[in-house]
Amino acid sequence: MGSAGECPADLLCDIIAEPGGRVLLRTRIKRILVENGRAAGVETAIGRVHRAPVVVANGDVVSMLTDLVGEQHLTARYLEKLRTMRRGPSAILLS
């Protein structure tokens, strides 16, 4: 795990990597792959596919779900709720 004084983002990367996860930094994602109603990985903007049982993405929830996951994977009711959401700044809490 990270050392004292390290940036919280570095600590989060360490936590994900510890059990064998991978963090893709500075990587533009084209889409989140969905199989059987669950995230199954990501496809990068340059066409590389990274399969994963869990996907953690950094971005606003509306864009992530409508653009990266795709509206075809959302119910009409949920999609309507997303469209009425007010967007604000993001935050993360690590304890």
Query: What would the pLDDT profile of 1-42 be if each residue is shown by its tens digit?
Result: 444 555 667 888 898 899 999 888 889 999 999 999 999 999
- The residues that bridge with 50 in the sheet, in sequence order, are 42
- The owner of tokens 């309507």 is 80
Longest pairwise C-alpha distance within the chain: 46
pLDDT tens digits, 54-93:
998 887 888 889 999 999 999 999 999 998 988 777 666 5
Main-chain phi, psi angles of 35, to 5 degrees: -135, 130
Q: Is 28 in contact with 16 (CB distance < 8 Å)?
A: no
Instruction: Give the global pTM.
Output: 0.76
Residue 65 and residue 29: Cα distance in Å, rounded? Answer: 13
Q: Note the pLDDT of residue 2.
A: 46
